[in-house]
Amino acid sequence: MNREPQIQVFRIAHSDGSYIEVSNLGARWLSWVVSDGNGKYSDILLGYPTVLDYLQDDCYMGAIVGRFANRIAGATFSLEDHEYTLEKNDGANTNHGGYSGFHSKIWKGSYEGNKIVFRLSSAHLEGGYPGNVEVTVSYSFTSDGMVSIDFDGVSDRLTVLNLTNHAYFNLAGKGDILQHRVTIPSSYILETNAEFIPSGGILPVEATEFDFRYGKNIGKDIEKQTQQLEWNRGYNHCYVFSLYDERKMKWAASVYEPKSRRKLDVFTTYPGVLFYSSGYLSSQIVGKQGYKYTPMCGFCLETQYFPDFPNHSEFPQGVVFPEKPYHHTTLYKLSVV
C-alpha cells in the first residue's frame, strides 16, 4: 500500500515472524502475514494495492465499521421516546454507519507500548446518531501470537454503538474459499428478510444449510436453492451466542484450509458473529498483486451485536451512556496443524 499525505500505515510483529499492518484510514487491518505448513509466509487478508483503492472502497475491506455495524431498519430508531433518523445508504435502511461511517474517517493513530491505537471523535447527531462519542480501537499481539482487537467507546449521553472489524480472510492467500472448513459452535441464527433485516425470529440451525457446529466446507451447501442463501448470495448471517450483553470471552469460530494447513480460531466478547462468504464481491475489484476478487474468494467473521438491535428490545443492547462505557475484545489465533 503506497503512502500518501494523511494516510499512515503501522506495523507490529510477533517473535514467531508474523506481522500485521494497519492504517489510520478507517482504522483498517491491511495485512496479516503468517507462515503456512511449509514455513512459507504470505498474507491472508484481502485488500487493495493503492490508497486510492481504499478511498473508493465500498466493500469495507479490513475497516472498523461504526457507529453501527450492519443494518438498522428504516434508518430510524428510538431512545427514551426520541426518534432518530439516520442516513439511508442501503435502500430504505442504513448499513455500516451510513455515509458518515467510521470506515471512511481518518483516525488518529499512534504506537503505544506494544499496541497500535486509533482514536476517533464523532459529534452528536453525526449520521443521525445521538451523543458526542469518543472511540478507541487497539491492535496488538498477545504473548502467544494472537491478534487482539479492543473496541472502546464513551458517550456524553445515551446512544447505541456496534463496532466490528470487516476483514476478509483467505487462509490460502488466494483462490476461492469453498474448501475452507468452518466450525461455528452456535445452534441459532437470526432470521432475516430480503433486505437483510432481522425479523426478530431466532432459527435453529439443526438439519439446515446453516449448521456448522461440527465443521463442514463452505462449499458443501452453499449452492442449495433456499430462499436465505439466494437472498444473501451465500452466507451472510448472524450466529447467536448469547441473548444477553454478558461480555464474556467465548470461542466463536474455527476455519481450516487444508493446502496451507492454516487454522484460524476466533474468540470474542460479543453476543454474535456475522459469517459472510463474500457473495457480493465483484470481479471488477482488483486486489493485492493484481488478483481479481470474485464472489467466494474471502470470508468475514464480523463479531458484533445483532443487526437492528435498537428496534428489537429482545436482542442484547449495545447501549452506551456516561456511566456505561463500551468495551469488547476479539481475538484471532492462527496456527498450523
User: Domain with 59 in it: what CATH number?
Assistant: 2.70.98.10
**Residue whose C-alpha cell reads 441464527 in the numeric block:** 189
- Is position 35 within any domain? yes
- Is position 203 within any domain? no
Residue 282 pLDDT more than 70? Answer: yes
* Number of other residues whose CB lies within 10 A of the CB of residue 123: 11
Full residue range of the structural domain in which residue 299 is found: 9-177+275-336
Residue 70 marked ligand-binding: yes
> How far, in Å, are 61, 71, 301, 330 from residue 253 at the CA level?
20, 22, 8, 11
- pLDDT for 326 equals 98
C-alpha cell at 293: 476478487
- Is position 135 within any domain? yes
Residue 5 pLDDT more than 70? Answer: no
Catalytic pick among 96, 237, 302, 328? 302
pTM: 0.96
- Residue 221: pLDDT band (50, 70, 90) is very high
- Is position 87 within any domain? yes
- Residue 284: pLDDT band (50, 70, 90) is confident
**Quick one: which of 290, 65, 270 has its CA closest to 168?**
65
- Residue 283: pLDDT band (50, 70, 90) is confident
Structurally, the chain folds into a number of domains equal to 1
State the pairing for strand pair 250-257/181-183: antiparallel
- Is position 258 within any domain? no
- Is position 194 within any domain? no
Averaged confidence pLDDT in the chain: 96
* Contact in structure between 49 and 286 (CB atoms under 8 Å): yes
- Residue 246: pLDDT band (50, 70, 90) is confident
Distance CA 80, CA 246 (A): 23
Q: What is the mean pLDDT of residues 30-59?
A: 96
- pLDDT for 231 equals 92
Residue 71 marked ligand-binding: yes
Residue 232 pLDDT more than 60? Answer: yes
Distance CA 169, CA 182 (A): 12
Residue 1 pLDDT more than 80? Answer: no
- Is position 196 within any domain? no
Q: Is 166 a catalytic residue?
A: yes
- Is position 28 within any domain? yes
Q: What is the mean pLDDT of residues 310-332?
A: 98
Q: Is 98 left (phi over 0), alpha (psi -120 to 50) or beta?
A: left
* Contact in structure between 109 and 8 (CB atoms under 8 Å): yes
- pLDDT for 3 equals 53
Please count the CA atoms within 13 angstroms of the CA of 267 that sit on its side-chain side: 12
- Residue 2: pLDDT band (50, 70, 90) is low
In this predicted model, what pLDDT tens digit does every residue of 105-137 receive, in sequence order? Answer: 999 999 999 999 999 999 999 999 999 999 999
* Count, residues in the chain: 337
Catalytic pick among 166, 180, 237, 328? 166
- Please name every residue paired with 262 in a beta bridge, in sequence order, or none if there are none: 257, 336
| H/E run at residue 105 | none
Residue 237 marked ligand-binding: no
In this predicted model, what pLDDT tens digit does every residue of 155-192 receive, in sequence order? Answer: 999 999 999 999 999 999 999 999 999 999 999 999 99
* Number of other residues whose CB lies within 10 A of the CB of residue 267: 17
Residue burial 150-168, b: 16+ Cβ < 10 Å; e: rest: bbbbbbeeebbbbbbbbbb
- pLDDT for 20 equals 99
